[in-house]
Amino acid sequence: MHEDDRIFTRLGIAINVLAIVALLVLVVRSFQPAFAGMLHGTMGSMMQGGEPGSMGMGMGRGNGMGNGGMGNMGNGMGMGGNSAMMTMHHAEIPAEYADLSNPVTADEASLARGAEAYNLYCVSCHGASGMGDGVAGAALDPAPAAIARTSQMLSDGYLFWRISEGGSHFSTAMPAWDAAIDEQTRWDLINYMRALGDGTIGVGLDPAAEAAMHAEMVAAGVAAGVITEADGATFLAVHDRVDAAMADRRGTGSGPMMDQQPEVLAGMVEAGTLTQAEADTFITVRDALLNAGLMQ
């Protein structure tokens, strides 16, 4: 074979290899939604001691994996992530979910069922502590939600909607679990997620760490010029009282808990546990931090 023939042969092989690689890239992209659901199922099965590659029962309806822009539901200080958090938390809940209230009591039996389901379907991405730090979640963009935290401020209907239909509304990789997980188990999951955050099980959210996070958030708002130092101090001073009142109301109402805050604050003012000036300042600071993408 002449040298020229060898060159053309090698060139032809290289072109064919590039074409195959390009085709594989297209195929992988087209199957990304399914991959997300498979990833949850495979990792969940492995966490339970299953063999690698086993899908088990952890097969959800996958959704697209966003390529940036959309952040998670409160897992970090990034501008994009927190702006997306605001969008997600204020999203309109579909009518069939809006008025739902958890019919399953958060007793030991429910928490045990919820733990079993969480370890099978959720832990691989959301992590054992529910802070979005699971092994499989590290590969996802946007990152998984810190559900131990966000479950404390979202209504039953909102959480049931997100578990049932996944993250397709927000371009996240969260699979839709309505076909794989029965209704009672989804409610058990909600009980378990909330127990992760309030310390009923596990270590809960560290109060000192939460206070430090709030202080950092307010300091960033003051530095950015979106709130005053005095208003930030008032916000921090009443935050624990507002959180306690919100916890008493948790799971009720037809919208995200954040949208119910004005009503909760009005009740606190009426009860004398908060002044009107404190309530007004709290909402002003909250909205300013949200709009600036600084709220956690």
**Predicted model pTM:** 0.57
**Residues 248 and 194 both lie in one domain:** no
What pLDDT is stored for residue 10 in this prediction?
66
Domain that holds residue 20: 3-30
Per-residue pLDDT tens, the chain, 296 aa: give them.
556 566 656 666 666 655 565 555 444 344 444 444 444 444 444 444 443 333 333 445 554 433 333 233 333 333 344 555 555 656 788 999 988 999 999 999 999 999 999 999 999 999 998 888 899 988 888 888 888 888 877 889 989 999 999 988 878 889 999 999 999 999 999 999 999 887 778 655 667 777 887 898 899 999 999 999 999 999 999 988 888 887 776 655 544 556 678 888 999 999 999 999 999 999 999 889 878 877 76
**Residue 81: inside a domain, yes or no?**
no
Distance CA 90, CA 77 (A): 18
Q: Which of 169, 198, 227 is the last residue of a domain?
A: 198
β-pair partners for 61: 176
β-pair partners for 176: 61
What pLDDT is stored for residue 92 in this prediction?
81
- The 10s digit of each residue's pLDDT in 283-294 is 999 889 878 877
**Residue 283: inside a domain, yes or no?**
yes
- The 10s digit of each residue's pLDDT in 89-126 is 567 889 999 889 999 999 999 999 999 999 999 999 99
**Residues 46 and 22 both lie in one domain:** no
Contact 170, 158 (CB under 8 A): no
CA triplet 169, 125, 102: central angle to 5 degrees?
A: 65
Kindly report the CATH number assigned to the domain that includes residue 186: 1.10.760.10
**Residues 108 and 180 both lie in one domain:** yes
Distance CA 275, CA 265 (A): 9
What pLDDT is stored for residue 14 in this prediction?
61
What pLDDT is stored for residue 46 in this prediction?
42
**Residues 48 and 158 both lie in one domain:** yes
Q: Which residues contact 72 (CB under 8 A, 6 or more apart)?
A: 81, 84, 85, 132, 142, 143, 144, 145, 146, 172
What pLDDT is stored for residue 69 in this prediction?
31
Q: Which of 154, 173, 198 is the last residue of a domain?
A: 198
**Residue 104: inside a domain, yes or no?**
yes
What pLDDT is stored for residue 108 in this prediction?
94
Number of structural domains (the chain) is: 3
**Residues 163 and 254 both lie in one domain:** no
